[in-house]
Amino acid sequence: DIQMTHSPSSLSASVGDRLTITCRASQSISRYLNWYQQKPGEAPKLLIYAASSLQSGVPSRFSGSGSGTDFTLTISSLQPEDFATYYCQQSYITPWTFGQGTKVEIK
Amino acid sequence: EVQLVESGGGLIQPGGSLRLSCAASGFTVSSNYMTWVRQAPGKGLEWVSVIYTDGRTSYADSVKGRFTISRDNSKNTLYLQMNSLSADDTAVYYCARLFDTAIQYFDYWGQGTLVTVSS
């Protein structure tokens, strides 16, 4: 199975900060990488697919980049509603696997 | 509007069985890849099973031989039959549509149903 590893696993940030979260795959997955946001008690929500494509309705402050094994999710200016846990997920091969998540907390 | 509504979760003893349902609206289940994803308390997300449009199915190794995914086209509903449950199966179970183009991604999710395996 392909292992997905987030760094950091958690971080504290302030409203207005620029934030970058990293996800690394255990083998090359081309651009078969998706990002999700999950708030406590809620289902995950798709933010980015194919490494850098913004899902419809997702604010443009979210962006993704990368290919191969290294990927990043960037939030250009953190908003109060962005405090959540973020997961990367590979769809290169089954079993589809998720990273352990990066929890973004308020500083 | 696309909506997925899970039901059927609850408290079950180890070794027991449970069937989860996921009622879909706004799209046709049989025309899409449909999946189950679970999340143990305080943990990350784990893909469990998929049913493809042609009826083929696939499972994570952790549930293979114990869980069965199926669908009822007349009810536009997805199911997950879970047998021989253990404490490791305790989780919130989400149904999700797997959108399939050049890349696959989980674009719509239900609210989840909690399964607790405990004596």
Tens of pLDDT, residue by residue over A45-96, are: 999 999 999 999 999 999 999 999 999 999 999 999 999 999 999 999 999 9
- What is the pLDDT at residue B101? 84
pLDDT at A10 > cutoff 90: yes
Residues B47, A96 contacting (CB under 8 angstroms): yes
B94 — pLDDT class (breaks 50, 70, 90): very high
CB B66 within 8 A of CB B15: no
List B residues 51-70 in contact with A (Cβ-Cβ < 8 A).
Answer: 58, 60-61
Share of chain B above pLDDT 90, in %: 97
For the segment A22-44, the average pLDDT, to the nearest whole number, is 98
In chain A, what residues touch B104 (CB-CB under 8 Å)? 32, 91, 96
Summary mean pLDDT of chain B: 97
Is the pLDDT at A107 greater than 90? The verdict is no
What are B56-67's pLDDT values in tens digits?
999 999 999 999
Cβ atoms A65, A75 nearer than 8 A: no
Question: Quick one: pLDDT at residue B13?
Answer: 98
Instruction: State the DSSP string of A53-101.
Output: EEPTT--TTEEEEEETTEEEEEESS--GGG-SEEEEEE-SSSSPEE---
Whether B46 sits inside 8 A of A98 (CB atoms) is yes
Q: What is the pLDDT of residue B18?
A: 98
The whole-number average pLDDT for the span A26-34 is: 98
CB within 8 Å of B92: residues ≥ 6 apart: B9, B38, B39, B41, B112, B113, B114, B115
User: Which has the closest alpha carbon to A101: A2, A10, A39?
Assistant: A10
Q: Would the pLDDT of B102 be above 90?
A: no
Which residue of B105, B109, B113 is the best one to mutate when testing the A interface, meaning the one whose CB has the most A CBs within 10 A?
B105
Q: What's chain A's average pLDDT? A: 97
Token pair recorded at residue A69: 């094994």
Under an 8 A CB cutoff, do B105 and A46 touch? yes
* Sheet with strand A4-7: strands edge to edge: A4-7, A19-25, A70-75, A62-67
